[in-house]
């Protein structure tokens, strides 16, 4: 920690309470879920005030701009002062994929139930799959 104006990204993410533990922050960096200024970040990547940190966790993307450098975990009110949150709002619950729920004790799904579930999942997959290369010419 030679430079006083920077800190490791995994330490900063944990300090401002974006993730619950430091090991979760390190694992997220190693898995490629953290980007600093649009570049994939290793756990040892340093951040300084003004840097943009993107974190994919829990099914959504958090976009924050570093305001202050903290090296120790701080309380929630202080953590809010250390970042500017530019994240899009979480999707409403009704926009999420419907999860097939069965009544307790209803037994195994029937063939009809299974086919209906497959039809719903196929419809969801076709809506969310990326466009094939070369389709942008249309």
Domain ranges of the chain: 7-89
Q: What is the mean pLDDT of the chain?
A: 86
pLDDT number for residue 1: 41
Q: How far is CA 75 from the centre of its chain?
A: 22
Question: What's this model's pTM, rounded to 2 decimal places?
Answer: 0.67
Q: CA-CA distance, 51 to 26, in Å (whole number)?
A: 18
Q: What is the mean pLDDT of residues 19-45?
A: 95
pLDDT number for residue 106: 82
Q: What is the mean pLDDT of residues 45-57?
A: 95
Q: What is the mean pLDDT of residues 19-23?
A: 95
Q: Would you call 9 helix, strand, or coil by DSSP?
A: helix
In words, the CATH class of domain 7-89 is alpha beta
pLDDT number for residue 96: 64
**Which distant-in-sequence residues (6+ apart) come within 8 Å of 6 by Cβ?**
46, 47, 48, 69
Stretch among 38-42, 89-93, 117-121 having the lowest mean pLDDT: 89-93
């Amino acid at each position: 920690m030679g430079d006083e104006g920077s800190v490791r990204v995994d330490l900063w993410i944990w300090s401002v309470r974006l993730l619950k533990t430091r090991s979760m922050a390190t694992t997220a960096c190693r898995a490629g879920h953290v980007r600093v200024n649009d570049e994939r970040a290793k756990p040892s990547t340093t951040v300084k005030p003004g840097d943009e940190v993107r974190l994919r966790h829990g099914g959504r993307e958090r976009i924050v701009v570093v305001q202050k450098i903290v090296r120790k975990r701080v309380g929630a009110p202080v953590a809010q002062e250390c970042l500017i949150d530019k994240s899009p709002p979480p999707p409403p619950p009704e926009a999420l994929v419907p999860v097939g729920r069965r009544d307790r004790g209803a037994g195994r799904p029937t063939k009809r139930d299974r086919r209906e579930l497959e039809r719903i999942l196929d419809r969801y997959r076709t809506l969310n799959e990326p466009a094939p290369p070369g389709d942008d010419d249309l």
